[in-house]
Amino acid sequence: DDAKNPKYAGILRDDIEIHLQWHNKKMWEVDIDRPMLRIVSQNIEALYNEYSNVDVFNAHTLLRETAWGTREFAFYDPFKNGLTFYRDV
């Protein structure tokens, strides 16, 4: 991110963490105009297994480690909001 013109912020209070990313309004004019949310989960494996067992997401959703140091899985909810659950590695 650019310190002189930031486009990303993380807010932390107690055990709640919210990450915000700025988008140009033109980006919302395309077909996918729904938010993308990242949610911290300390026991990501148990959450993935729980959601997998009750068909919250499709079979192509993978629990994976990323190049930026997280273990995560992501999917779209029924309202087309993007949800990513993650923990730091």
Number of domains in the chain: 1
In a domain, 57, yes or no: yes
**49: in domain:** yes
Instruction: Give the model confidence (pLDDT) of 22-36 as tens digits.
Output: 877 776 666 656 788
Segment 1-22, tens digit of pLDDT = 788 888 888 888 777 787 888 8
* 51 assigned to some structural domain: yes
| pLDDT at 31 (0 to 100) | 61
Q: Which residue has the higher pLDDT, 11 or 71?
A: 71
- Mean of per-residue pLDDT scores for the chain: 86
Domain-embedded: residue 3 = no
Least confident of 48-52, 70-74, 79-83: 79-83
CATH code at 84? Answer: 3.10.180.10
Q: Is the pLDDT of residue 47 over 70?
A: yes
Domain that includes residue 35, residue range: 8-88
Task: Quickly list DSSP for the chain.
Answer: --TTS--EEEEEETTEEEEEE---GGGGGSS----EEEEE-TTHHHHHHHHHHTTSS-TT---EE-TTSEEEEEEE-TT--EEEEEEE-
Residue 3's pLDDT is: 83
